Amino acid sequence: MTVDVAPAAPGFVSELLTPGQLKRLIPRSAASATTVQQARRNVRSILQGRSDRLLVVIGPCSIHDCMAARHYARRLLQMREQWGQELEIVMRAYLEKPRTTLGWTGLLNDPFLDGSGLISHGLEIGRSLLEELNAMGVPVAHEIVAPATMSYLDDLLSWVAVGARTSASPVHRQLASGLDMPVGFKNGVEGQVQVAVDAIQSARHPHSYVAVRPQGTLGVYSSLGNQDAHLVMRGGRQPNYDEDSLAAAAALLRKAGLHEALVVDASHGNSQKDHHRQSMVCADLAGQISGGNRSIVGVMVESNLRSGRQDLLAGRTPDPELSITDACIGWDESAEVLRLLAEAVRARRSRSLQPAPEVAC
């Protein structure tokens, strides 16, 4: 557990750089811009059915060590090159972590892992890391936890999620409606899919809402709606990655007049909080994809350099390669999962190329 460090006095602590100031301090490079723009186009093509590749959002539950994140990204870049014809691999680079009760809330909020809450440093460290990863050629994914922080990072993100705890939040739905990237809404914590379908419908429509301007002041924004809002199946009290659950979710989307595009999270409720079960979930999904299921357009996996997790303890430096939040599968297992999913895409693709069977008269 993290040691709690109380501020000297409650109330105002310090000024932050404005989003515009941070973006000028750490600008998006031309190489990063290319990575982001291409990945967004690729993900949109997959969600809209124009590409038969599979979106795979894979990476640490949360990033706590930048050097380890770079090391992971270099390995993932090799996987992107190896499986690029089958998979659009986006690195899970979550810098904020929602907590049910208490715990470390991510690199943006507590960059030195000591409860000091130096958010100004966290924003600089986090943006710098995302810029490096994109410049390397690895697109990144994030979760919208605190809507205000999106103004500091939005130009470096290719895909974002709205979590199970916040899919019902009007603020998150409004913000998603104005983002220039695909947004995945997760089903509710208990497994309710309808709340995410409602969120998708809301995010696809225009909104007027209050958000942080680049100058740091609040302003009223008007959105046109995000047509790439989509559903993420993450399980609940029970897993929901099985064929019947996915078919039921697709039926809900169809009833709402939405494209039947499903991203399936192999972790959380679908793994029943056992990280080793993620490979089993992915194997099941690979079987469904190989069998011709086209509603499965993406998979999410919590993965790190080493398998498992560790507690964050005072006075002890954490292992940089091991998660300090949810347990993850290790690199070797991750590489095998990517191979399995890529082969499933090949199998699904080959099925579509086969001639239709003759019908006996």
- In a domain? residue 265: yes
Interval 218-267: pLDDT, tens:
999 999 999 999 999 999 999 999 999 999 999 999 999 999 999 999 99
Interval 106-148: pLDDT, tens:
999 999 998 888 999 999 999 999 999 999 999 999 999 999 9
Q: How many CB atoms lie within 10 A of CB 138?
A: 27
> Which residues have a Cβ under 8 Å from the Cβ of 116 and sit 6 or more positions away?
5, 110
- In a domain? residue 95: yes
- In a domain? residue 240: yes
Question: How many structural domains compose the chain?
Answer: 1
Asked if residues 338 and 79 have their Cβ atoms less than 8 Å apart, the reply is yes
Range of the domain at 227: 30-317+330-349
Residue 339 has pLDDT above 90, yes or no: yes
- In a domain? residue 325: no
Which pLDDT belongs to residue 97? 86
- In a domain? residue 289: yes
Which pLDDT belongs to residue 1? 37
Question: In the beta sheet, which residues pair with residue 232?
Answer: 186, 263
Asked if residues 218 and 212 have their Cβ atoms less than 8 Å apart, the reply is yes
Q: Which of 129, 56, 135, 47 is nearest to 94 (CA)?
A: 129
Percent of the chain with pLDDT over 70: 94
Interval 18-45: pLDDT, tens:
999 999 999 999 999 999 999 999 999 9
- In a domain? residue 196: yes
Q: Which residue has the higher pLDDT, 172 or 10?
A: 172
Which pLDDT belongs to residue 351? 86
- In a domain? residue 8: no
Which pLDDT belongs to residue 238? 96
- pLDDT band, very low/low/confident/very high, at 358 (cuts 50, 70, 90): very low
Q: How far apart are CA 268 and CA 300, in angstroms?
A: 10
Arithmetic mean of pLDDT over the chain:
93
Residue 349 has pLDDT above 80, yes or no: yes
Q: Tokens 């009007």 correspond to what residue?
A: 170
CATH number at residue 297: 3.20.20.70
> Which residues have a Cβ under 8 Å from the Cβ of 22 and sit 6 or more positions away?
123, 124, 127, 152
